[in-house]
Amino acid sequence: MKKTPVKNSKNKKSPVKVRPVASKPVAKKVVSKPCSNAWSLSIYVYWFIILFFIAATFYILGRTHSIQPTVPSAQITEEILLQSGDYYESGKTKLTEGNISEAITDLTAAIDTGVASVDTYILRGEAHMQSGDYSSAMSDFNTALLKDPTNAIAYYDRYLLHTRLEDYNSAMNDINNALAANTTNPTIILQMRDLYAKRGKLNLWLKNWQGAVADFTNSLARPDGTVDPTVYADRAEAYTAMGNLEEAINDYSSAVRIISEQIQGAQTMDAREALSSKAMSYFEKSAALNLQNGNMEAARSDLESAYTIAIALNDTETATRLEKLIVELNNHVAQ
């Protein structure tokens, strides 16, 4: 009795096996093949693009991090750190003494340890710059800034290098970065007074007179460091170019006043003579501006002051030239 239902159930399932033979599913199979191939091809293309960008990213990261210490952190020992520090100090001492080639050798040895500081690259860059190897100097400053993008000293040194190469636009970018970096992360090595003066000088070369005056004014207003009389003289040049002769004359007078104070504290005869020579030059420039401004008495006073300094310096050539100018001026006034 139980076997009969089993036979009936088999008979009911047998028609189901016939359905795959029907034409409709076959038609679907024929149409779906090209769609599947196109979809697979697009997937391959997308994966290829993704893998390409992943590979490019790792390549860029690899090159970026290639400047990092070559010694794995697990292998950095106290001995390696001391060795790098000793080479650095030795190179620094030799550079101060003027032994540039030996300094470069020691600093290179420090870098070869794989744990050299940013300062080591900066110092070796300075040594290369002093030796005239500007390409190696640029490479070291660039490496230092890749390691520490906020290092004001590295920006400042690269600014100096760009000025030597007469690339004033790049120099301007670097002195701007040095100012910004030294504002947020001050260093005792650089003073804002000097940085503003350097940018003012650069603006003077670029004939940006207003920018130069602004920078020199900022430099003179800073409380840090000592006033450089050259800053007054440089601002006088900018004022002269702008046609502001009175301000220029006042600045030359200020420069001479600062020099007279500095001469009192000068330790050597060479230092006093160098300062006196600057004052003589500023007196002569002031005399020229006073003549241009029609102030004959002030011009004669300036020339006489310059003449007195020339005599004191035993600069007979300059003294003779100034004496002739004084005679000509007196004759002109007498007429």
Assessment of whether the complete model's pTM goes beyond 0.75: no
Percent of the chain with pLDDT over 70: 75
Which pLDDT score is estimated for 7? 44
d(CA 247, CA 233): 11
Query: Could you tell me how far CA 309 lies from the centroid of its own chain?
Result: 40
If DSSP codes are grouped into helix, strand and coil, which group holds residue 229?
helix
**pLDDT tens profile 75-92:** 666 666 667 778 888 989
Cβ–Cβ < 8 Å for 225, 194: yes
d(CA 192, CA 178): 10
Range in 47-51, 157-161, 215-219, 313-317 with the lowest mean pLDDT: 47-51
End-to-end alpha carbon distance in the chain = 155
d(CA 172, CA 190): 17
**pLDDT tens profile 149-158:** 999 999 999 9
Identify the structural domains of the chain with CATH numbers, from first to last: 227-335 (1.25.40.10)
243: left (phi over 0), alpha (psi -120 to 50) or beta: left
Cβ–Cβ < 8 Å for 114, 80: yes
Cα distances (Å, whole numbers) of residue 147 to 67, 104, 115, 135: 8, 20, 12, 19
- Tell me which of 218 and 27 has the higher pLDDT: 218
**Which residue, among 221, 219, 199, has the nearest Cα to 211 in the 3D structure?**
199
**pLDDT tens profile 241-278:** 999 999 999 999 999 999 999 998 889 999 999 999 99
